[in-house]
Amino acid sequence: MPLPEKKHHAWMGLALAEARRALATEDVPIGAVVLGPDGGVLGSGRNQREELGDPTAHAEVVAIREAAARLQERARLGGGSGDGWRLSDCTLVVTLEPCAMCAGAIVLARIPRVVFGAWDEKAGAAGSVFDILRERRLNHWVEVYPGVREEECALLLREFFAGHRSISPQP
């Protein structure tokens, strides 16, 4: 696996800030950002499943949708190239290893690089349970940079779930 670059640590700080925003809506604190080739943020997202009542509102999907919309707007205004939905020069940074749904969205969006923090040993699809991002039978493969600020990302999730487990319904 490729070694993380110094800028990945800074970018993960942006994703962690998004993850913390999810706490306000009782969503699992996972955050994501899509960065363009210049390192600028094209899209950001946090888990919003509880807030929106949408099972597909994972941080990665929210960030990918926002980035694609921004690129489409640029193309419409004549300031960009391409069709907008192909994020072929972008990097997705997310605090938790993507699940199968998000990994599929990453592949379909043609994102070439994913940087993630904590591993998801139950549902991860970037090397732990599945490896959809590097599945050779698919038409697009992704470079994966795992474990960036891993302990910080994992701690945020552990604290969230510990808090939810300590609140048990009374009979």
pLDDT score at 75 = 81
Is 153 assigned to a binding site? no
| Lowest-pLDDT range of 55-64, 96-105, 108-117, 157-166 | 157-166
Share of the chain above pLDDT 90, in %: 79
- Residue 149's alpha-carbon distances to 110, 128, 154, 168, in angstroms, are 25, 17, 9, 31
Is 99 annotated to bind ligand? yes
| Mean of per-residue pLDDT scores for the chain | 92
**Each residue of 113-139: pLDDT tens digit?**
999 999 999 999 999 999 999 999 998
* Confidence band of 166 (pLDDT split at 50, 70, 90): low
Taking the C-alpha atoms of residue 148 and residue 67, their distance in angstroms, rounded to an integer, is 22
Which residues have CB under 8 Å from 28's CB, separation 6+?
Answer: 22, 47, 49, 157, 160
Of 26, 50, 51, 60, catalytic: 60
Provide the whole-model pTM.
0.91
Q: What is the mean pLDDT of residues 2-7?
A: 77
The residue among 84 and 82 whose pLDDT is bigger is 84
Question: What are the tens digits of pLDDT across the range 139-157?
Answer: 899 999 999 999 999 999 9
60 given a catalytic annotation: yes
Q: In terms of C-beta density within 10 A (0-12 exposed, 13-18 middle, 19 or more buried), how is residue 31 classed?
A: buried
Which letter does DSSP use for residue 126 in this model? B
